[in-house]
Amino acid sequence: MEEQLIEEALSKKIWAVVGATPRMEKYGYKIYKTLKDHGYTVYPVNPNYKDVGGDPCYADLKSLPQIPQAVDMVVSPKFADETIKQAASLGCGIIWFQPGAESDEVIAASDSLGLKVVHHDCVMRRLSGK
């Protein structure tokens, strides 16, 4: 099931990267850039920045100009609660927790909100072979 869900997630073309950053050495930037380089529409989400890679950065999911089909989480699990609630209420569908961004609690909370959850895998690693 996990592999099928990963393929489903990667087939979605509109993504949000929560924890995106303009700091090029950080995963929040690398993941954002990798998705963009692979032709995805990607919105950076981080209330601490005005832009990432020259693109406007948004404070939260509900501020985005369109609803993402998949949300990539690059933040500590302690910052995930509000985002997963917004993702569920907006109908985002899939949430992908990067390694280190997941916890049993946020995975269970995401499941209980009806979100499809990918975890223990890296979207950059998955896209590197495509």
Task: Give the residue-averaged pLDDT of 3-20.
Answer: 97
pLDDT of residue 116: 97
For residue 115 the two structure tokens come to: 């979100």
Task: Give the residue-averaged pLDDT of 59-67.
Answer: 97
- The model's pTM is 0.96
* Count of Cβ atoms closer than 10 Å to residue 53 Cβ: 15
pLDDT of residue 130: 60
Res. 64: pLDDT tops 70:
yes
pLDDT of residue 10: 97
C-alpha 91/C-alpha 74 separation (Å) is 20
Res. 39: pLDDT tops 90:
yes
The overall average pLDDT reported for the chain is 95
Q: 101 and 74 in contact (C-beta within 8 Å)?
A: yes
User: Which DSSP string corresponds to 70-126?
Assistant: EEEE-S-GGG-HHHHHHHHHHT--EEEE-TTS--HHHHHHHHHTT-EEE-SS-HHHH
Over residues 75-107, the pLDDT tens digits come to: 999 999 999 999 999 999 999 999 999 999 999
pLDDT of residue 129: 73
Res. 17: pLDDT tops 70:
yes
